[in-house]
Structure 1
Amino acid sequence: MTSSPNVSQPNRKVMIRLENLTKRFPGQKQNAVDNLTLDIYEGEIVVLVGPSGCGKTTTMKTINRIIEPTSGRIILDGEDVTTANPDTLRRRIGYVIQQVGLFPHQTIGENIATVPKLLGWDSKRVTARVDELLDMVNMSPADYRDRYPKQLSGGQRQRVGVARALGADPDVMLMDEPFGAIDPITRDRLQNEFLRLQSEVRKTIVFVTHDIDEAIKMGDRIVILQEASRIAQYDTPERILTAPANQFVADFIGKGASLKRLNLSRVSDIELSSWPTVRVGADSAQVLDQLRSSGRDSVLVLDDAGRPRRWVGAGDLQSSPSGALEEIGVPVEGMVEPTATLSDALNELIAARNSVTIVVDPAGVYRGVVDINQINETIRAMRSTSAAQNAADLAERSTAGSASERP
């Protein structure tokens, strides 16, 4: 039922291979990591998740040898780096931690430039890379390059931490609960922004979290670990939710699997619904006519750039017939971008006016809405797909069992 950690995937390059990796700390009777074998493929986010003390962070830190393994091998892009110079190895691997770890006495630009400078890049190349990365994490170089970490919010510092990890354009990144110390709203935004960034840079990422919902949202594949980093299941989020390998995995996932599956689908995966829209300079009488013919309770007012600004209903138009559209009605709240999950969209929808979530592009331009019917339809489709997959798995196991019983 579960995927083997070494199952062959044709045409996929193994970027990280852990072979019989073991770590026992001095004075301990049991291994913190016990004979772990794991293949991680190029361009994937692989999330290590499990209960506290299972060894997930220890496993991740052996990859860049912040923690030296007791035995076993670490193979990076085909090269055995188990005994390589650890400082040289770490310069090849980006590293992001929960508390960011920026150097407080250095500017943001100097922080991001840390590894490129260690690698001997010339100053012009370093400056260009710093500005490129600040743009990449949506922080204007002119505004942020010369600031210090204490002048940033927690979310901004975390973005800089990601930018610094990408400084020398490493093929591999390690992320140790990078969004764990941030408030829930900022965490959701940073998760979505990071997934957008990953769609562009396609790094191989090992991501540690204790949160199964975050694992489902962020991971291309998930490793659910038991004590001593023993693999309970290594599979895609879809398979883990629909076909848990054993009771440990089922208990770890917990209840509400249908809702958790909404983290597997993004707003960009569905066809958006339409909503009546008007521009801020539209005539109120014409807007009222449009509203009445639409069958909706309100129209969505867009500014001259097409960005949502206000909800305006018939009562607003009738009570202020000469009022400017940008001054009546209620402000728009709860917008998401196409990279957001349907779970994000549902969270916004529950409290939203008109029971829809507005979708905008990265520039804030209106693209459509998501309503509850679309979310329900997605859940039904997931259930149908899961039932078909599970039936196929059962048939395959039955066939394999029959074949093994033949003389």
Structure 2
Amino acid sequence: MITSPTNSQNARKVMIRLENLTKRFPGQKHNAVDDLTLDIYEGEIVVLVGPSGCGKTTTMKTINRIIEPTSGRIILDGDDVTSADPDQLRRRIGYVIQQVGLFPHMTIGENVATVPKLLGWDSKRVSARVDELLEMVNMAPAEYRDRYPKQLSGGQRQRVGVARALGADPDVMLMDEPFGAIDPITRDRLQNEFLRLQSEVRKTIVFVTHDIDEAIKMGDRIVILQEASRVAQYDTPERILTAPANEFVADFIGKGASLKRLNLSHVSDIDLTQWPTVRTNADHTEVRNMLRGSAFGAVLVLDDGGRPSRWVGAEDLDGASGRPLSELGLEPGVTVRPTDTLSDALNELVAAPYGVAIVTGSNGAYQGIVDINQINGAIRSMRSTAAQANSGSAYGAGVATAGGQP
């Protein structure tokens, strides 16, 4: 049993408190959730993660009482909702599931409007809220409002699921493996988009996943659960990676902790390297002169808006007299943004032309590049920090564990 994260949060408001929460299903000898006490603070994403069958989804579903607890109390924003009307409770809490669960016979707009309509909002207010939310999840209302779920891709349906959960502007959201059924590329993009959205709306979110990498990327704090939702460690991702509380946590994290830490740092945290650039109207002689004696194998061609257009090397200019730079060389490939993690940048630079990840701003304009030397430097810095944090302890000093024992 554990009541709060390791580091002091006395100044923070507790949005969700689970007190001695227990759940035993009929016919079972053991509790699915066993005497769990947990504080979740306002505006944070708290990720429940653990091996299959540990009770993480059961714990989450007791918060909005889709699953009724056998005993214990659920406190939501200071109110004891353990015996409140469950329908009214659920209208206060947004809920996103893996398979989205959109109503197939209803349009996207009607799906997003579900909870506001149940709350009796007038039609003008509902319509404005639907458009606001679709814009928020980057789906133009005029294009998507009147479509049906079957006309959308999996990633688009997941966005609509998030918009619907935000329908009545709830303070709390529950997310049950929301990105688990989506292909890896789309999942990464949705994760990044959701983190951007969370930076704006600052909801209190309980997020369930079985993937420790996703937990590290998404969580402000992580609860690593053992059997029956017993807490092995409740802490920040950085502390869990650098100071695991016990052998169970260390084993659950697995190897490659240095690479996992790249999910904790963002492109904006490092100084970008600059690459030689020219505009699309530059002549071939200018490009040759720039590359002559340079350590760089190509220039990055930028369009009139400063956006990456092409990679052009000296060999691309041979026999290309008179042709514009915009027709030569290679496409720039996928770019990353300052809000993306260093793990995202590493994924892109491994397969990118010239082994670098191009960084662009929100308007798509070039800002710089990330290369492998910068990634290595970030890892060395993290290792140094971890060594200092773990000094004198095999599993880190002062880390809270199940039962509240340090």
Residue type of the alignment partner of 1:370: V
Could you tell me which residue of structure 1 aligns to residue 114 of structure 2? Answer: 114
Give the deviation of 1:6 after TM superposition.
5.8
Could you tell me which residue of structure 2 aligns to residue 28 of structure 1? Answer: 28
Give the deviation of 1:294 after TM superposition.
4.7
Could you tell me which residue of structure 2 aligns to residue 221 of structure 1? Answer: 221
Could you tell me which residue of structure 2 aligns to residue 76 of structure 1? Answer: 76
For residues 369 and 29 of structure 1, what CA distance do their matches in structure 2 show? 57
For residues 4 and 67 of structure 1, what CA distance do their matches in structure 2 show? 22
Could you tell me which residue of structure 1 aligns to residue 179 of structure 2? Answer: 179
Could you tell me which residue of structure 1 aligns to residue 269 of structure 2? Answer: 269
Q: Give matches, 1:379-398, under 5 Å.
A: 379-391=379-391
Aligned-residue identity in percent: 79
Q: Identify which range, 288-297 or 64-73, moves more after superposition.
A: 288-297
8 Å CA contact 1:336, 1:360 repeated in 2 = yes
For residues 149 and 257 of structure 2, what CA distance do their matches in structure 1 show? 39
Residue type of the alignment partner of 1:312: V
Could you tell me which residue of structure 2 aligns to residue 165 of structure 1? Answer: 165
Q: Deviations over 1:169-205 (max 9, x none)?
A: 1111100000000000000111111111111111110
For residues 105 and 13 of structure 1, what CA distance do their matches in structure 2 show? 40
- Tell me the C-alpha RMSD between the 2 structures: 1.8
For residues 246 and 393 of structure 2, what CA distance do their matches in structure 1 show? 15
Give the deviation of 1:3 after TM superposition.
8.2
Q: Identify which range, 345-354 or 44-53, moves more after superposition.
A: 345-354
Give the deviation of 1:284 after TM superposition.
2.3
SS at match of 2:292: helix
Could you tell me which residue of structure 1 aligns to residue 204 of structure 2? Answer: 204
Give the deviation of 1:393 after TM superposition.
7.2
TM-score scaled by length of structure 1 = 0.94
Which residues of structure 2 form unaligned runs of 5+?
399-406
Q: Identify which range, 313-322 or 87-96, moves more after superposition.
A: 313-322
8 Å CA contact 2:74, 2:82 repeated in 1 = yes
SS at match of 2:278: strand
For residues 36 and 185 of structure 1, what CA distance do their matches in structure 2 show? 36
Residue type of the alignment partner of 2:30: Q
Does 1 or 2 have the higher relative contact order (CA < 8 Å, sep 6+)?
Answer: 2
Cα pair distance change 1:104/1:397, threshold 3 Å: closer
SS at match of 1:358: strand
Could you tell me which residue of structure 1 aligns to residue 100 of structure 2? Answer: 100
Larger helix share, 1 or 2? 1
Residue type of the alignment partner of 2:353: R
SS at match of 1:272: coil
Could you tell me which residue of structure 2 aligns to residue 5 of structure 1? Answer: 4
Residue type of the alignment partner of 1:374: Q
Q: Deviations over 1:245-272 (max 9, x none)?
A: 1111111111111111111111121121
Give the deviation of 1:287 after TM superposition.
2.5
Which residues of structure 1 form unaligned runs of 5+?
399-407
8 Å CA contact 2:171, 2:204 repeated in 1 = yes
Give the deviation of 1:124 after TM superposition.
1.4
Could you tell me which residue of structure 2 aligns to residue 353 of structure 1? Answer: 353
Could you tell me which residue of structure 1 aligns to residue 85 of structure 2? Answer: 85
Residue type of the alignment partner of 2:302: L
For residues 338 and 304 of structure 2, what CA distance do their matches in structure 1 show? 21
Q: Deviations over 1:39-80 (max 9, x none)?
A: 001111100000000000000000001001010000011111
Q: Deviations over 1:271-290 (max 9, x none)?
A: 21111122222222222222
For residues 364 and 397 of structure 1, what CA distance do their matches in structure 2 show? 44
8 Å CA contact 2:33, 2:58 repeated in 1 = yes
Residue type of the alignment partner of 2:362: P
Is 1:43 the counterpart of 2:53 in the alignment? no
8 Å CA contact 1:46, 1:207 repeated in 2 = yes
* Number of aligned residues: 396
Could you tell me which residue of structure 1 aligns to residue 285 of structure 2? Answer: 285
For residues 52 and 362 of structure 1, what CA distance do their matches in structure 2 show? 39
Could you tell me which residue of structure 1 aligns to residue 192 of structure 2? Answer: 192
Give the deviation of 1:365 after TM superposition.
2.1
